[in-house]
Amino acid sequence: MNQTADMIIIGAGIHGVSLAFHLAKRGFKPLVIERNTLACAATGRSSGLVRMHYDLEPESRLAWESFQYFRDWENRVGGDCGFTRTGFIQLVPEGFEAQLKGNIAMHQRIGIPSLLIDAADVRRLAPAFETGDIGLAAYEPESGYADPSASTSALMTAARQAGARLLQGANVTAIRVEAGRVVGVSSSEGEFDAPVVVNAAGPWAAGVAQMVGLDLPITTWRHDTMFIQRPWELRLGHPTVIDNAHSMYFRPETGGLTLVGLEDNNPLGESPDGYTDRAQPGFVERAIERICLRIPIMERAALHSAHGGYDGITPDQRAVLGQAGPQGFYLQCGFSGTGFKIAPAVGACMAELIVDGRASTVDISPFDPQRFEQGKLLKGEHDYGDIWH
Ligand SMILES: Cc1cc2nc3c(=O)[nH]c(=O)nc-3n(C[C@H](O)[C@H](O)[C@H](O)COP(=O)(O)OP(=O)(O)OC[C@H]3O[C@@H](n4cnc5c(N)ncnc54)[C@H](O)[C@@H]3O)c2cc1C
């Protein structure tokens, strides 16, 4: 006889697990099916930045709702998510000051602690930074980074305690549909029945959608990151920064390390099963050059390691959240390189959508999958341009 569950979630990254947590807290018994291990894909390679600075209001709202979890994790979830408050600075190239001000005003309207600062303020917050090119910047004093693997593990532990199940090492190979609605999945470990199936398969999401004949405009985005050992003078660390002027972001990491990622040269459309234990040739050299432009003393840093990861990316670089295809089939994917920090709230919203028919924590209707065929791609009111390329 097939095993049954209230809902089946395909994928045990931060998103599948966040959804399982919220469904289980509401009294349901979801089953998460993972072909490999918990947090083995995009989530395990995530840089873990936790900030609210987006140019699209619904994303800032999701990040702000999620932030309530990160800063109060022990009470809301239990265990540890490794949240480290470092303060967050958003730097923009010359000419984007109006957009920056517009976005900060939007964040403040939501209630997010976000301040407009200038180069002198940046120097006070980060004396080692080169600030000659900085006009204005945004500062979020509460923001920082968290540990994506630890967060996923803590959410899954809490979900299991509330009645969810996790099956690892089980590859979903088909989604069974009868009379226009999903009835379960077939996997390498057997058949499972449920009236709801959620696609939380990260960079594999387009393939999983194909199992119900759904064409999703999600491709893969590869992204490398580098860790360097900071010189002694910088042992106390520095804020977390998105530096659009140098198409880069960086944050401190434990053990006196700094993590650096670049916004350009992130290949699209590769196989999500590509090799990620090493960064692409040339990445480390480019990353070192960029970090030294912003923090010249990093010339004395030492390379620690570098690796890569894949996420699913959509044409407007925003998530796909909602129902599509056969009845009972839901999408929670396409996070386009920024999905970690919004996962706690996205899971709550998706649980509301599935159970109540509508999300109430944050209105996620802008992320509806139909927007692509309707030509209604999402765009920030004060956007900084297409930053992942
Ligand atoms: C290098 C890198 C850095 C990033 N940095 C940040 C950051 O600083 N801040 C931020 O907010 N976001 C960041 N992101 C984005 C963020 O990590 C992702 O958006 C998020 O982790 C996606 O989570 P997920 O659960 O959707 O996908 P994943 O973590 O990829 O999980 C999907 C899971 O589905 C499983 N799966 C797939 N197909 C099947 C199947 N057929 N059967 C069973 N299981 C299946 C996979 O094995 C995988 O474990 C980064 C991403 C990368 C790659």
- Cβ of 176 closer than 6 Å to ligand 1, yes or no, is no
**Measured CA distances, 197 to 28, 93, 251, 333, 347 (Å):** 14, 43, 36, 13, 14
Per-residue pLDDT at 87:
98
- Cβ of 33 closer than 6 Å to ligand 1, yes or no, is yes
pLDDT in tens, the chain (389 residues): 889 999 999 999 999 999 999 999 999 999 999 999 999 999 999 999 999 999 999 999 999 999 999 999 999 999 999 999 999 999 999 999 999 999 999 999 999 999 999 999 999 999 999 999 999 999 999 999 999 999 999 999 999 999 999 999 999 999 999 999 999 999 999 999 999 999 999 999 999 999 999 999 999 999 999 999 999 999 999 999 999 999 999 999 999 999 999 999 999 999 999 999 999 999 999 999 999 999 999 999 999 999 999 999 999 999 999 999 999 999 999 999 999 999 999 999 999 999 999 999 999 999 999 999 999 999 999 999 866 65
- Cβ of 270 closer than 6 Å to ligand 1, yes or no, is no
Say how many Å lie between the CA of residue 41 and the centre of ligand 1. Answer: 5
User: Which residue minimizes the CA distance to atom 33 of ligand 1?
Assistant: 11
Per-residue pLDDT at 389:
58
User: Which residue minimizes the CA distance to atom 4 of ligand 1?
Assistant: 46
The residues near 369 (Cβ < 8 Å, ≥ 6 apart) are 216, 320, 321, 322, 323, 324, 331
User: Which residue minimizes the CA distance to atom 38 of ligand 1?
Assistant: 201
- Cβ of 48 closer than 6 Å to ligand 1, yes or no, is yes
**pTM for this predicted structure:** 0.98
Per-residue pLDDT at 2:
87
Ligand 1 atom closest to 225 (CA):
1
Per-residue pLDDT at 371:
97
- Cβ of 192 closer than 6 Å to ligand 1, yes or no, is no
Say how many Å lie between the CA of residue 217 and the centre of ligand 1. Answer: 17
Q: CA 350: distance to chain centroid? A: 15
Say how many Å lie between the CA of residue 305 and the centre of ligand 1. Answer: 21
Per-residue pLDDT at 388:
61
In this structure, are residues 159 and 20 in contact, taking their beta carbons and an 8 Å threshold? yes
Per-residue pLDDT at 387:
65
Say how many Å lie between the CA of residue 117 and the centre of ligand 1. Answer: 33
- Cβ of 341 closer than 6 Å to ligand 1, yes or no, is yes
- How, if at all, do strands 7-10 and 30-34 pair? parallel
